[in-house]
Structure formats: structure tokens, C-alpha cells
Amino acid sequence: MAKDIVCGMEVSDSTPYQAEANGAHYYFCSESCRIKFTEHPENYLHRSSLPAACPDNSCTTSHAIYTCPMHPEIEQEGPGTCPKCGMALE
């Protein structure tokens, strides 16, 4: 397992969302996090710790609604994959 440097989520080393920077390999939970990192890696490489997903505790990840980028009618609480196309829900 690896940690997504953008959002802090634990992800499998076999995730299709990967990138390299400064000679190191990074793994991501979604294409969205991978793009955020590749566009501005300096925003993530020099952090001493990952930010909390909800720093003021006004939300919890268990109630977050995830949708498929290709099938917006697909919604569920928490992360997963789209039953129609298999893409990671965001």
C-alpha cells in the first residue's frame, strides 16, 4: 500500500494513477489527484505532513458522495468504482 500525497488516502501500489517526480514514484487514488500533483508537484513534495481531508472537522469522509466522471448518475457514499465502466469514483 502507498499513500496518495495529495489527499492522504491509502492506495494500492497497482493503481493506474501514478507519476514520477524528482526520481521518486508516487501513487494516487484518482486521476484528479494525479493531475493536481503533476501540474504543481512543488505544492506537495515539501509538505511535512499531509493535510486533513476536513481540517475543521465539519465533515467526515464516510458521508462524502462520490460520483463517476463518465456516469454522473452513479453516486455512492465513500470511494469505490463505477459499476458501468470500472473507473474510480471521485
- Average per-residue pLDDT for the chain: 82
Q: Structural domain boundaries of the chain?
A: 1-51, 54-90
Share of the chain above pLDDT 90, in %: 37
**Opening angle at CA 40, ends 50 and 29, nearest 5:** 55
* Whole-number CA gyration radius for the chain: 14
pTM of the model: 0.52
- Which residue type sits at 49? S
What is the DSSP secondary-structure string of 29-76?
A: SSHHHHHHHHH-THHHHT-SSPPPSSTTSS--GGG-EEE-SS-TT-EE
Which is more confidently placed, 56 or 47? 47
pLDDT digits (tens, 9 = 90+) for 34-55: 999 999 998 888 764 444 444 4
